[in-house]
Structure 1
Amino acid sequence: MDMAYRIIIADDHPLFRSALHQAVQMAVAGAELQEVDCINSLMQLLSDTDDIDLLLLDLKMPGASGFSALASLRHQYPQLPVVMVSASEEPAIVQQAMRFGAMGFIPKSAPMPVLVSALNTILEGEPWFPDGISLDQAPQDTIAERLASLTPQQFKVLSMLSEGLLNKQIAFELNVSEATVKAHVTAIFRKLDVKNRTQAVIALSQLEGGEY
């Protein structure tokens, strides 16, 4: 395989990061690997690094829950191939990953030979998902599509709203003016077609959908 591959492993579990690291080395000898353990570190790395060939993204890690990170990344870096890794193997979750534009979905329970095979397939430009999963089976999810239209900064604001933070607190955390936060909140309400914070937070919770 090409030794020039640049791959990021984003997972907050050291043991699984190590397993992925090993699988990548077996699949792609000589690949340049970088590891992060939270979404903030990932976003900083992506802003500082060009030409990433593949991102292996944990479905649930600090800074984002569920598919919010994937949706935000696909919006900001549409050319970046993203493969979700998750302890869950539920078809509905795999289908949601497909719907948000993931190039693959690798269960954390997958044995090493399967991990290596999946990575080889994906790096050759082909998607890889567990057997028996079809996007055609997935119901249309208009809320998910609306959430996918949010900018990365709007995702941050929405996530902080879900934590119960006030506009003033969000402005402090993001180092922006309170007026800027209000503008983001207004845009979020418009894009999600909701009327208040409670409805916006419910929409985000539907995207996150439980423990992955």
Structure 2
Amino acid sequence: MPDTAFRFIIADDHPLFRGALKQTLEIQYPDSRIEEAGTLEDVTALLSGGSDVDLVLLDLTMPGMRGFSGLMYLRAQFAGVPVVIVSANEDPQAIRSCIKFGASGFIPKSHGIEVIRDAISAVMEGNVWTPPEVDLSADDGTTDLVQRLATLTPQQVRVLMMLSEGLLNKQIAYELSVSEATVKAHVSAILQKLGVESRTQAVIAASKIEAGQWQIG
């Protein structure tokens, strides 16, 4: 039984699932600190707390997240913190996209406790874990776009999320407490990085790798 104390964050908006996963981690890593979050904002607050986090177990469909945007944001804002996706989505393209965005693993919620334990152990040992039947080398035509999206800064990811919700520049500026000029600069940078010419094209481009999760508002 590992005797090293780790710090985990379980990020899921279903309390029952958080509780079950927390119990699993408590048995596997009994001396560890395990915190829970129900929204992306909660996760960000915990990660900003200063203490090192060894692993975030992240659901893709929590409040505050659209498609892979939460993963993109966390990887950009907290690049040194490993993130494993724990999701009901078992689409191979979604799994490959998560790994391309920098996730350290992808665990389908349908898998049993033993598999989840083995997966977490593998990641804690520095490996990347995905279901063995998923071919990570398969080319679904989104590699270039994923690489472009991965270059966005944390603030640019947030702006793109809000663009996808149909918000205007002045509304985004209000939400982010910045000037409209700053928002315009972020939008211009997003268009340049994605190689598109309009806000709508940027959202459509992002939707291509979201497996239907990132919708235009």
Is TM (by shorter chain) over 0.5? yes
User: Aligned letter for 1:195?
Assistant: E
CA contact (8 A) 1:27 1:117 kept: no
Measure the CA separation in 2 of the matches of 1:43 and 1:208: 22
Question: Counterparts of 1:75 and 1:149 in 2: how far apart (Å)?
Answer: 8
Residues in 2 aligned to 1:207 and 1:73: alpha-carbon distance in whole angstroms: 18
Q: For residue 12 of structure 2, what is the aligned residue in structure 1? A: 11
Q: Distance in 2 between matches of 1:139 and 1:88?
A: 17
* 1:38 equivalenced with 2:43 (yes/no): no
Per the alignment, residue 188 of structure 1 pairs with 190
Higher RCO (C-alpha 8 Å, min separation 6): 1
- Is the CA contact 1:83–1:104 (under 8 Å) kept in the aligned structure 2? yes
The equivalences for 1:18-97 within 5 A come to 18-97=19-98
- RMSD after superposition: 1.7
Whole-Å separation in 2 of the counterparts to 1:92 and 1:172: 35
The structure 1 residue matched to 2:162, chosen from 160, 163, 166, is 160
Once the two structures are overlaid, the 10-residue window that deviates more, 14-23 or 66-75, is 66-75
For 1:33, what is the secondary structure of its paired residue?
Answer: strand
Structure 1 outlier segments of 4+, above 4 Å: none
Decide which moves more: 83-92 or 71-80: 71-80
Give the number of aligned pairs.
212
Kindly indicate which of the two structures has a greater share of residues assigned to helix.
Answer: 1
**Distance in 2 of aligned mates of 1:93 and 1:181:** 29
User: How far apart in 1 are the matches of 2:169 and 2:92?
Assistant: 37
Check conservation: 2:151, 2:193, Cα contact below 8 A: yes
After superposing the two structures, state which structure 1 stretch, 170-179 or 90-99, moved more: 90-99
2:71 and 2:101 in contact (8 A); partners too:
yes
Q: CA deviation at 1:139?
A: 3.1
Number of the residue aligned with 1:179: 181
Would you say the 8 A contact 1:59–1:86 is kept in 2? yes
Q: SS in structure 2 opposite 1:30?
A: coil
- Aligned partner of 1:147 in structure 2 is 149
Cα deviation digits, residues 165-199 of structure 1 (max 9, x gap): 11111111111111111111111111111111110
Provide structure 1 residue ranges, at least 5 long, that are not aligned to the other structure.
none
Q: Quote the residue 1:201 is aligned against.
A: 203
Over residues 77-107 of structure 1, what are the superposed CA-to-partner deviations in whole Å (9 max), with x where a residue is unaligned? Answer: 2221111111022222221122122111111
How far 1:144 sits from its partner (Å)? 1.5
Percent identity among equivalent residues? Answer: 52
1:169 aligned to which of 162, 171, 174: 171
Q: CA deviation at 1:140?
A: 4.6
Length-normalised TM-score, structure 2: 0.91
Q: Match for 2:184: what amino acid?
A: K
Q: Which amino acid aligns with 2:81?
A: L
2:107 corresponds in structure 1 to: 106
User: Kindly tell me: are residues 211 and 189 of structure 1, through their superposed partners in 2, closer, same or farther at Cα, counting changes over 3 Å?
Assistant: closer
Residues 26 and 116 in structure 1, CA contact (< 8 A), matched pair in contact too? no
Report the TM-score when normalising by structure 1.
0.93
Q: Unpaired segments of 5 or more residues in structure 2?
A: none
